[in-house]
Chain A
């Protein structure tokens, strides 16, 4: 079979390979090259070496500010989302009536697209702030809080489902034995439940982390970076650099390369943790 299959390369691989080359491989290679050039359209690129990279790390550029904002946002959202999701999962694995219904409702916001989510929360947050006579564009901390609220609303249900699956895999006997040995609820959670759901914790942490770090749609619709570009996260900052003003495309592309390297590092760390866990188990 496999000798016969080998000849069918064009039939089985071209339909994936050709779109993949067009939409990914060529653009990535071009993108890396263009980050060392100055250009407005691709054809007029002139090589400028590391100029774009110097520019994005200079104090006049928004990039470092966006990076810092993104890091703060990512840390807070990862912690809050996972804490709430885990607590909900604990409540929903006690065999209470209505559990399925609650699960369905909590998961639902996850299906709504980022642009729509952004405008839903813009309405709510502006409504809450109207008592103070301001709106979300008034201060970066309102935008930050709004993003955290939105992200929690969107991701809690998703992470909760993963935690529930993990909690349901814990053998009932283990907790019963612990109870007989005199363990209280906290001890049982700390020494039995938590160690057994650690794989799920790793998955959920990295899912929230990468999701928050790469967030674009929600940020774009909710604050659009306002006030100024103070609440632009990395993805939005790159977009604004590309399309906000003519002539800074090279800098935008260089930012995209740095952004990619940061995301790749996160993926590497995740792989390391997942692999290590597999060895332990």
Chain B
């Protein structure tokens, strides 16, 4: 009797979860089928499927791509994200090793300044930072990488330091006796041991930089648009925007994320959890 009841509960729970799953992906599917409808058939009836009157094929995609320069936005997003993530991994891991192994007041002050930067909201530095970036001619896709390295340093050095502490100093001393200078020791001994942490930090930073809107908008937004800036650019004045193009661009903005997620789902989820628990 309890066995049967257990089975019914199981089936009911799975049915309930499946329904929830559908509800969770529904918003994306609604955007997807609207992206194939003419722009004047979207805002009034977003829940109507496309029909022979409203179906426009790939027209919205064509218009949207032309309007916001989607492919160049994709290129800038990719370039900035990849360079920034590699830059952060390299600089933050080196600094984390240094501040963990070398004692001194200056080093300690730097470490606390980095940790402190994690809690400062972006709005605090938004205006002054874009001024400084302007002054130093950092308003280009390479310059913004420098800014991301600076902003990413706090969390990344903090997380790397936590793992460097777990590396036995004896390993590094053995390398030194074998004739390694600190640079060699770092790249041959320390860095390989940090690899699992590096993957986690890379994922956390990649998600943040890929989706970041304000920093690229304020610093390079007038000349180089990343994907979030390009999507927002489509907005224009309220009411006058091309809803069809917007739907199509939302879909194109989501596709790379879904592909990335499909390939590295496990490390994304475990990275995010570890990041949350650490930070």
- Chain A residues with a Cβ under 8 A of chain B: 1-2, 4-6, 8-9, 11-13, 15-17, 19-28, 30-31, 34, 41-42, 88, 91-92, 94, 96-98, 101-116, 119-121, 123-124, 126-127, 130, 137, 153, 157-158, 161-162, 165, 203, 207, 214, 216-217, 220-221, 224, 226, 234-235, 238-239, 242, 249, 252-253, 255-257, 259-260, 263-264, 267
Contacts and interface: CB of A to CB of B under 8 A. Distances in A.
A249 B101 CA distance: 43
Given A1-B172, A120-B27, A120-B28, A115 B102 contact: no
B250 A15 contact: no
Given A19-B153, A91-B13, 11 more contacts: A1-B175, A12-B95, A23-B149, A28-B124, A97-B14, A102-B20, A112-B253, A112-B257, A113-B212, A116-B228, A249-B127
Given A42-B128, A119-B231, A260-B120, A165 B273 contact: yes
B126 A239 contact: yes
Given A158-B272, A260-B124, A19 B91 contact: yes
Contacts of A13: 94-95, 98-99, 110
- Interface-centre pick from B28, B120, B151, B258 (highest chain A CB count, 10 A): B120
Interface of B: 10, 13-14, 16-18, 20-21, 24-25, 27-28, 30-31, 34, 42-47, 90-92, 94-95, 97-99, 101-104, 110, 113-114, 117, 119-129, 131-133, 136, 138, 146-151, 153-154, 157, 169, 172-173, 175-176, 181-183, 185-186, 207, 210-214, 227-228, 231-232, 235, 238, 246-247, 250, 253-254, 257-258, 260-261, 265, 268-269, 272-273, 276-277
Contacts of B126: 238-239, 242, 256
Contacts of B113: 20, 25
Residues of A contacting B: mostly: helix
B13 A22 contact: no
B119 A267 contact: yes
B182 to A, nearest CB: 4
Contacts of A153: 24, 27
Contact of B125 (A31, A94, A157, A214): A31
A252 B173 CA distance: 52
A24 B150 contact: yes
A235 B92 contact: no
B213 A12 contact: no
A25 B110 CA distance: 11
B13 A31 contact: no
B151 A23 contact: yes
Contacts of B246: 119
Contacts, number: 275
Contacts of B110: 13, 17
B265 A104 contact: yes
Contact of A111 (B103, B147, B257): B257
B228 A162 contact: no
B129 A23 contact: yes
Given A23-B129, A256-B126, A263-B121, A116 B94 contact: no
Contacts of A24: 117, 120, 125, 129, 150-151, 153-154
9 smallest CB-CB distances across A and B, nearest first, come from: A113-B211, A23-B150, A19-B150, A127-B46, A27-B125, A27-B128, A12-B98, A16-B95, A27-B129
A111 B207 contact: yes
Contacts of A104: 265
B208 to A, nearest CB: 10
Nearest to A109: B24
A12 B272 contact: no
27 contacts: A1-B175, A4-B176, A12-B94, A16-B150, A17-B95, A19-B146, A19-B149, A19-B153, A23-B125, A23-B132, A23-B147, A27-B129, A27-B131, A91-B13, A96-B10, A96-B14, A98-B14, A111-B257, A113-B211, A115-B213, A153-B27, A157-B24, A158-B272, A239-B123, A242-B127, A253-B128, A256-B123
A98 B24 CA distance: 16
A259 B247 CA distance: 34
B91 A108 contact: no
- Interface-centre pick from A92, A116, A126, A257 (highest chain B CB count, 10 A): A116
B153 A8 contact: no
A102 B27 contact: no
Contacts of B122: 216, 235
A121 B27 contact: yes
A162 B250 contact: no
Contacts of B261: 108, 111
